[in-house]
Amino acid sequence: MKKPRISQTTGLVCAVMAIACVVGTGLLALSLRPYLAVKNRIKVPLNGANLAGVKLTSAILPGRDLSHTNLQAADLVGADLHGATLVGSNLLTTTLDDADLCGANLRGSDLRGAHLINANLSGANLSETDLRGANLQVRNMNLSGVNVSGAIYDNTTRWPPHFNPRQHGAIIVEAAKATGR
């Protein structure tokens, strides 16, 4: 019996597919390098760190201690911060759009001018925070169980429709008082 011969076309197709697999695997490894570098770097303690202006888009930081951290103007779009501790942190003009802050503790943090559009704030502790000029508008009203008692806000703070911050213990300040920090 004769062995069937592989045609040149079939051999060429197999060679191209093998090269594509090798190149694809290499590209996958290269694309994972930044993720793995950040993942390993984020294992260090972050409380009290200066991360002002840092791009941490889609960062995975659930339950982490970020208390007293400077995150001013940082990009945390889509970050997973559920259960994180951000007590007393500087989040001035930070972008937290679509971030998961479910159950996070932000007590006493400065969120002036921060963007939290569509962020999940259910069960979050925002007591005694400064929310002047912050944008907390959400599509799905995921402010259930949020604690804003003692938080201050002004007429530039944007809340979701049908959410009354005063009923939840937040304190409105006049614009003239809002500039005195």
Q: How confident is the model at residue 45 (pLDDT cuts 50, 70, 90)?
A: confident
pLDDT value of position 143: 74
pLDDT value of position 144: 79
Mark whether 23 and 78 lie in a shared domain: no
Mark whether 12 and 67 lie in a shared domain: no
Q: Is residue 129 assigned to a domain?
A: yes
Expressed as residue numbers, the domain containing 11 is 7-41
Q: Any idea what the CATH number is for the domain that residue 84 is in?
A: 2.160.20.80
pLDDT value of position 181: 45
Structural domains of the chain, count: 2
Stretch 53-73: mean pLDDT: 95
What is d(CA 137, CA 157) in angstroms, rounded to the nearest whole number? 10
Mark whether 37 and 61 lie in a shared domain: no
Three-state secondary-structure class, residue 32: helix
Stretch 126-141: mean pLDDT: 88
Mark whether 114 and 77 lie in a shared domain: yes
Point out the least confidently predicted range of 7-21, 24-38, 39-53, 72-86.
Answer: 24-38
What is d(CA 139, CA 124) in angstroms, rounded to the nearest whole number? 17
What is d(CA 158, CA 135) in angstroms, rounded to the nearest whole number? 5
Is the sign of the CA dihedral 73, 74, 77, 82 positive or negative? negative
> Is the predicted pLDDT of residue 73 greater than 60, yes or no?
yes
> Is the predicted pLDDT of residue 179 greater than 80, yes or no?
no
| CB of 155 closer than 8 Å to CB of 178 | no
What is d(CA 178, CA 45) in angstroms, rounded to the nearest whole number? 33
